[in-house]
């Protein structure tokens, strides 16, 4: 049995989450024009940690998404999961691969 774990990213708690996600090249430029992106960060027990702000970098080409969350100071230390849901104007939903975000304690404190 082949088990694939979600791709893993890291973030020190308290740092601003600001990352880009690229739409795969197999999708044409503008294919997701008008689609609304959404993303939630959840703990391993499925508790909601945060609703992320997700915006198209360029809503006409729909090649890149920017995910942001300004205040991560209360996020729990450990692994969390997130994906991106794209919803078409007609209500069709398309989900990305789930990613693991390893939230750690940073060495430098404010």
Tell me: the pLDDT tens digits for 53-62? 999 999 999 9
Cα separation, 105 vs 11, in Å, equals 9
pLDDT tens figures, 4-39: 555 678 999 999 999 999 999 999 999 999 999 999
| Residue spans per domain, the chain | 8-53+62-104
Q: Which CATH architecture has domain 8-53+62-104?
A: Sandwich (2.60)
pTM for this entry: 0.87
Return d(Cα 69, Cα 47) in angstroms, integer. Answer: 17
């Amino acid at each position: 049995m082949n088990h694939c774990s979600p791709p893993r990213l890291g973030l020190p708690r308290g740092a601003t989450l600001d990352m880009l996600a690229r739409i795969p090249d197999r999708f044409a430029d503008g294919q997701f024009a008008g689609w609304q992106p959404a993303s939630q960060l959840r703990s391993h027990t499925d508790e909601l940690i945060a609703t992320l702000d997700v915006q198209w970098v360029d809503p006409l080409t729909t090649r890149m998404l920017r995910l942001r969350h300004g205040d991560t100071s209360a996020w729990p230390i450990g692994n969390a999961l997130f994906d991106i849901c794209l919803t078409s104007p007609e209500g069709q939903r398309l989900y990305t691969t789930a990613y693991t975000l390893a939230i750690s304690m940073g060495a430098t404190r404010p």
